[in-house]
A and B are shown apart, each in its own frame.
Chain A
Amino acid sequence: QSALTQPASVSGSPGQSITVSCTGTSSDVGLYNYVSWYQHHPGRAPKLIISEVNNRPSGVPDRFSGSRSGNTASLTISGLQPEDEAHYFCFSYRASSTWVFGGGTRVSVL
């Protein structure tokens, strides 16, 4: 059972926007800015796509964006592309030098 809660799956058609949520508590997602998102294609290394809640690393397409409201962080993919079909998971700092993951969300492009 993961520490952060994500929906198991989200789907959308090409060109649509989708949002993946990541719900934690006031001791992790709601308190620290160290919330990040990753894209994972099976068999490959996970890829960082959002750091520090809403920062996009160099080379990541600007259709990926991050935000937070209270204890819930969100990843939005605007203008969904077929290559965006993958697993996405969130990661956050929690007090006492501990880090926690979300359970992961499978994004399908219909």
Chain B
Amino acid sequence: QVQLQQSGPGLVKPSQTLSLTCAISGDSVSGNTVSWNWIRQSPSRGLEWLGRTFYRSRSEWSYEYAVSMKSRITISPDTSKNQFSLHVNSVIPDDTAVYYCARGSAGALDFWGRGTLVAVSS
């Protein structure tokens, strides 16, 4: 059974960087047929897919980001710790949301973390 454990601060100041980590058990971040995704949910934006990373081959990784976030977002795999991270730069109050990590497989998100509420406030 795949389990995803999220960690990271619940409060970030405007203009700073939001950073969250998703630790994976029961699978490998380097798995060939899966992707590792970040999603967020807020009252103003609803559910929003932010981006994903997946392993291709020969130590090469692919990264895909939502167009609306592309200039501010980075998703990073960490094979040594079997986890992946989300970094959102220059946050504003509208980035306040519950952030989820999830595994992608066969076009669906089959395992999710429990979510982390991140507030952007001074």
Interface residues of A (CB under 8 A from B): 1-2, 32-34, 36, 38, 43-48, 51-52, 57, 89, 91, 93, 97-104
Contact = CB atoms under 8 A, between A and B. Distances in A.
A102 B115 CA distance: 18
B10 interface: no
A48 B109 contact: yes
Interface residues of B, number: 22
A44 B114 contact: yes
SS class, residues of chain B in contact with chain A:
strand
Nearest to B48: A101
Interface of B: 4, 39, 45-49, 64, 66-67, 100, 102, 106-115
Contacts of B64: 97-98
Contacts of B66: 98
A53 to B, nearest CB: 10
Contact of B107 (A38, A51, A57, A101): A51
Nearest to A51: B108
